[in-house]
Amino acid sequence: MIGLISCESELKRLIGDTGTVSSFVGGFEINVLDGELFPWEIVLEVLLALPHEVWVKRFEGSLVIKTKPPGF
C-alpha cells in the first residue's frame, strides 16, 4: 500500500492544477481539468508502468483516466 500512496502523491505533484487524483478500487481516478496543459505523456508513462489496467473515458464532458489492478 505504501507504493500506491507514494504513487498517488507523485501523480498529484505531476498533475498539479490541471487535474485531480483520487483512489479508485485499488488504483486511481484522474479527472482532467485542463487538457491542453495536462502532462499527458509523463502521467500515462507512470500509469502504464504500474501493474494496472488503464482506461481513458469521457464523463460528463470531461476526460477521466481510471486504473485498477487486474482482477478488481
3-class state of residue 32 by DSSP: strand
Q: Where are the domains of the chain?
A: 2-68
| Mean pLDDT score of the chain | 92
pLDDT, one tens digit per residue, over 3-21 is: 666 899 999 999 999 999 9
How does DSSP assign 10-29, residue by residue? HHHHHHGGGEEEEEETTEEE
Residue with cell 489496467: 53
Provide the pLDDT confidence category of residue 61 given band limits of 50, 70 and 90. very high
Contact between residue 32 and residue 64 where contact means Cβ atoms under 8 Å apart? yes
* pTM (predicted TM-score): 0.89
